[in-house]
Amino acid sequence: GGPVLLGGGLGGGRGGGGGRPVVATQHHRRSVLRVFFRVLHTLDASVVDRTWALELPSRSVDASRPVTDDELDLVRAVSLSTLAETRQPSIVALAEAGAVTTEIAAVTAADVDLDTGVVGLPGCHQARARRVPLTEWGVAQLARRIPQLDGADRPLAYTGADRRHAGQASISTNLRRLFTRAGLTGEPDLGLGSVRAWAGRKAFDASGRVEDAARVLGCRSLDAAARLIGWDWQADP
C-alpha cells in the first residue's frame, strides 16, 4: 500500500481553505511522519518508513539552501542511532554551529567551552577562525562526547592522523550518510553545507544583518554569506 497518512496526508491533504497544502507544509508533514516511523522502528524492527519513496516538489529553486528546522531535527534524530552513540551527534553539533567539514575534523575538546556554550573554530581556506555559539542540543551532545576522549587535544569527531584532507573526507562521508538515513538525499537543493548554512540563516533571521551570518560562518565576503543562507539582497535589500 501507499504511505500512511496522518491529518489529511502529505501532498494530497487539503489546507484550511480547502486547497492543496503549500510545499513547505507537505515537507513538514513528511518530516513528522519520518520521525514517527523511526520511533516505531526502535520499538518494533519490522516497522519500516512508509515515506522513503515519497517524492515532493523542491522547497526552493536555488541550487542550495539551508536545512529547515524540521529537516535538522531529522538529521539530529538519525545521528542518535544508539543511546551510546556520541561521535555522529558531535559532527551534527559542530555543523549546526557553522563549522566547515575541515574544521569539524580539527576541533578538539580544548576548543569547547561547555559552560558558555561556545566553540572555537580553527578556520580553513573556506572560513576565518572564529568563536561561535553552540545550540542547546549541540552542547548536550558534546557534553556526552568529551568524557569519552582521552585528552583535551583529541579531535571530537575524527580519529585519524590527517585532520585536513582525510579528515574532511571522513566528515563529509558521515554527513552524507546521515542525510541518506534522514531521507534528505532526494532534495536537490540540499547539500552537505546546508546544515552549516542553517547557523548563518538563524543569525541573519535574529538580527536582519547579513554581517552576523558572515561572522558565524566565517565568510570573507558578505556576498558569500548571502549565497550560503539563501538571501537575495538585490531582491530584498
Which tens digit of pLDDT belongs to each residue from 114-155? 999 999 999 999 899 999 999 999 999 999 999 999 877 889
Q: Which of 25-34, 55-64, 112-121, 168-177 tops mean pLDDT? A: 112-121
Checking 204-208 for CB contacts under 8 A at 24+ apart, the result is: 204/229, 204/231
The predicted model gives 72-86 an average pLDDT of 91
Q: State the cell numbers at 158.
A: 575524527
SS3 call for 127:
strand
Q: Which pairing describes strands 130-133 and 118-121: parallel, antiparallel, or unpaired?
A: antiparallel
Q: Quick one: 163 exposed, middle or buried, by C-beta within 10 A (0-12, 13-18, 19+)?
A: buried
Q: Which residues pair with 127 in a beta bridge?
A: 124
What pTM was estimated for this model as a whole? 0.74
CA–CA separation, 86 and 92 (whole Å)? 10
Residues 6+ apart with CB under 8 A from 28: 68, 70
Instruction: Judge whether residue 6 has pLDDT over 50.
Output: no
| pLDDT band at 20; cut points 50, 70, 90 | low
User: Which range is least confidently modeled, 82-86, 158-162, 202-206?
Assistant: 158-162
pLDDT, residue 4, reads 39
CA–CA separation, 116 and 78 (whole Å)? 27
